[in-house]
Structure 1
Amino acid sequence: MAKKFKRSYKFAIKTSLYITLVLSVVLAGFAYFTSGFIPGPFLAFIFITYLVCFFIIQYRVEHFIYKRIKKIYDNVSLLDSTTLKPSQVTTDMATLTREVEKFTKDKKLEIDTLKVREAYRKEFMGNVSHELKTPLFTVQGYILTLLDGAMKDKAVRKKYLQRASKGVERLIYIVRDLDMITKLEAGDLHLEEEDFNIVELVQGSFDLLEMKASKKNITLTFDIDYDEPIWVNADRDRIQQVLTNLIVNSIKYGKEDGTTEVSIENLIKNKVIVRVTDNGEGIEKENLPRVFERFYRVDKSGSRKEGGSGLGLSIVKHIIEAHNEKIYVESVFGVGSEFSFTLEKSKNIPEINTEI
């Protein structure tokens, strides 16, 4: 409830005036017929009557409104009557109405926010359950099959143990990513910032993922030849993880014989922007606002053929925001996607030893 109210005396002034006029007319008529009209006492009576009526009416109206509004506060669970004080009461009902409406709107906004959070919590818990359930049941199925007698066959035993091992690896992968996101959100993940050449880091990511890209004949390339190093200041290992996740995503959802292109451009005086562009499936417009949510998948079929924990883009977003930088996504469905993020340039460019 707001503390500032406009106190109004209009009702008390007008009502007191009406009462005084009526009493004055009655008294004047009585004095006229009894021949006892004396101007001095008559005017004093009018003045005193008006003042007494004004103060009584003002006090009673305020007390009446306060009691009624407090009762409303007590009866409506959204309102807290402890925030209402007699000194805040006004006889201006328009002001009271605006204040109560404003208070109610604020509470409704809080409730709507809580509902959104509750829906998100339920969806998140469902996603976690689904992601963990699949590999757990897979591992359980292979182990139970082995215990039922399949382990006597060496070939089957080895194959099932290998598959169970992959299921365990997937569980570890999901738990590790969840742990990282938790640390990032809690601010417990310490960033070790240093100066490094972002061009070299991107090339290292290309080399690391070259075999994965070759399975779909996807070319990993720069937009131009970067002959000179571009020095940035950030946590090298975390930015490596960001690049790896973005490039892996471009390969997962890229088309056969496609291209993943990385460009590094000056944004402002002390910033560069790194763009990872592909000509793959693209993302539908309605899905763009949610691509960085944990476990959110654009593929509504829920297919897990591409693997992954469903946490990659969420981790990317958290790492970039931990650097106090921004990440963006643009996509045209059926044409391709572009993920970009900013980094701070190095203030002190390391010296390069050119001696042979």
Structure 2
Amino acid sequence: MDLSVFLQDCVEELRLDPRMEEINLTFFPNNVTPVLVMADREKLRRVMMNIIGNSLKYMNKDQKEIKVELFDHEEVATVHIRDNGLGMDREELPHIFDRFYRADPSRNTESGGSGLGLAIVKQIVEGQDGRVWAESRAGEGTSIYFMLPRTDKVGE
């Protein structure tokens, strides 16, 4: 599938979500040619929804932003989803993709987080021969990246 077209569709769909009313959601494809990857469209949609849903839980700025970027490399495509929410401490980063891990359990009782969203993201991405990781700064926001292998085969 063309990852660029898929991400554009996801972002357009998310803009219709009532939870996104006050969020400035942007997509930067960073390329003009198709970015073909072998991926399950529905599972990848779940990845996007889990990452963006997680970002929404920790938004605390007046100007709320989520940026989606696509980087096309020779052998892989990298998706970067960045928010300007609460962020987290460096010590928490190695654990955020663990099942049931919640960086601040007291915050999650209000938002209903189970600690499974990013664990599911990791399982889906790695199940498609990809890789996922995060970067964050407390008070500045969080970036989630995932890479998928490129292909030259044309699918749906």
What TM-score do you get using the length of structure 1 for normalisation? Answer: 0.40
Map residues 1-356 of structure 1 onto 2, 5 A cutoff. Answer: 196-210=1-15, 211-214=18-21, 217-223=22-28, 227-254=32-59, 255-267=61-73, 269-301=74-106, 303-349=108-154
Once the two structures are TM-superposed, the CA of residue 250 in structure 1 deviates from its matched residue by 1.5
Once the two structures are TM-superposed, the CA of residue 225 in structure 1 deviates from its matched residue by 6.6
Any conservation in 2 of the 1:218–1:256 contact (CA below 8 Å)?
no
Once the two structures are TM-superposed, the CA of residue 332 in structure 1 deviates from its matched residue by 0.7
Rounded Cα–Cα distance in structure 1 between residues aligned with 2:115 and 2:12: 24
Q: Which ranges in structure 2 are unaligned for 5 or more consecutive residues?
A: none
Count matched residues.
Answer: 153
SS state at 1:265 partner: strand
Rounded Cα–Cα distance in structure 1 between residues aligned with 2:119 and 2:32: 33
Rounded Cα–Cα distance in structure 2 between residues aligned with 1:206 and 1:263: 11
Distance 1:225 1:315, change over 3 A: same
How much is the aligned-residue C-alpha RMSD, in angstroms? 2.1
The one-character-per-residue Cα deviations of 1:4-47 (angstroms, maximum 9, x if unpaired) are xxxxxxxxxxxxxxxxxxxxxxxxxxxxxxxxxxxxxxxxxxxx
Higher relative contact order (CA 8 A, sep 6+): 2
Rounded Cα–Cα distance in structure 1 between residues aligned with 2:33 and 2:152: 17
Rounded Cα–Cα distance in structure 2 between residues aligned with 1:225 and 1:325: 20
Any conservation in 2 of the 1:234–1:344 contact (CA below 8 Å)?
no
Once the two structures are TM-superposed, the CA of residue 227 in structure 1 deviates from its matched residue by 4.7
Rounded Cα–Cα distance in structure 1 between residues aligned with 2:4 and 2:112: 28
The one-character-per-residue Cα deviations of 1:61-109 (angstroms, maximum 9, x if unpaired) are xxxxxxxxxxxxxxxxxxxxxxxxxxxxxxxxxxxxxxxxxxxxxxxxx
Once the two structures are TM-superposed, the CA of residue 350 in structure 1 deviates from its matched residue by 5.7
Question: Residue type of the partner of 1:260?
Answer: I
Rounded Cα–Cα distance in structure 2 between residues aligned with 1:228 and 1:263: 15
Once the two structures are TM-superposed, the CA of residue 346 in structure 1 deviates from its matched residue by 2.4
Rounded Cα–Cα distance in structure 2 between residues aligned with 1:256 and 1:306: 19
Distance 1:205 1:350, change over 3 A: closer
Once the two structures are TM-superposed, the CA of residue 224 in structure 1 deviates from its matched residue by 5.3
Larger fraction in strand: 2
SS state at 2:111 partner: coil
SS state at 2:118 partner: helix
Distance 1:285 1:208, change over 3 A: same
Question: Residue type of the partner of 1:326?
Answer: R
Larger fraction in helix: 1
SS state at 1:324 partner: coil
SS state at 1:263 partner: strand
What TM-score do you get using the length of structure 2 for normalisation? Answer: 0.86
Once the two structures are TM-superposed, the CA of residue 259 in structure 1 deviates from its matched residue by 1.0
Q: Which ranges in structure 1 are unaligned for 5 or more consecutive residues?
A: 1-195, 352-356
Rounded Cα–Cα distance in structure 2 between residues aligned with 1:313 and 1:330: 13
Once the two structures are TM-superposed, the CA of residue 220 in structure 1 deviates from its matched residue by 1.1
The one-character-per-residue Cα deviations of 1:211-257 (angstroms, maximum 9, x if unpaired) are 2111xx11111135755432211111111111111111112212342
Any conservation in 1 of the 2:129–2:149 contact (CA below 8 Å)?
no
